[in-house]
Amino acid sequence: MFRWCSLIFLTLCYNTLASVEILTSQEPPVNFRSRDGALTGFSVDIVKEMQKRVDDKSDIYMYPWKRAYNMALKKPNVILFTMS
């Protein structure tokens, strides 16, 4: 599964010349904000590892699902991860 997700992420990163905006929503325990405000959870860890492998320094932003989904539909170069 991880290799499949990595392949998709690599393809998206290398096929776009512009920077990529990475979005998610709060879905504990998969991804959530810790008490100190940092994004955490196992899907966040997977995305951060993929970023490290492709040397991507993009931030990950957390929005309510509906807003993140609409942004992904309307804006170019947006990656939305983790759906219930």
Tell me, yes or no, whether 33 lies in a domain.
Answer: no
Phi and psi, residue 33, nearest 5°: -90, 130
In a domain, 46, yes or no: no
**In the predicted structure, residue 5 carries a pLDDT above the cut 60:** no
CA-closest candidate to residue 32, choices 77, 67, 65, 66: 65
pTM score: 0.74
Would you report the helix, strand and coil content of the chain in percent, each value rounded to 5?
A: 45, 20, 40
Is pLDDT above 90 for 70? Answer: yes
Q: Is residue 4 over pLDDT 80?
A: no
Is 75 part of any domain?
A: yes
Highest mean pLDDT: which of 8-12, 13-17, 75-79? 75-79
Structural domain total, the chain: 1
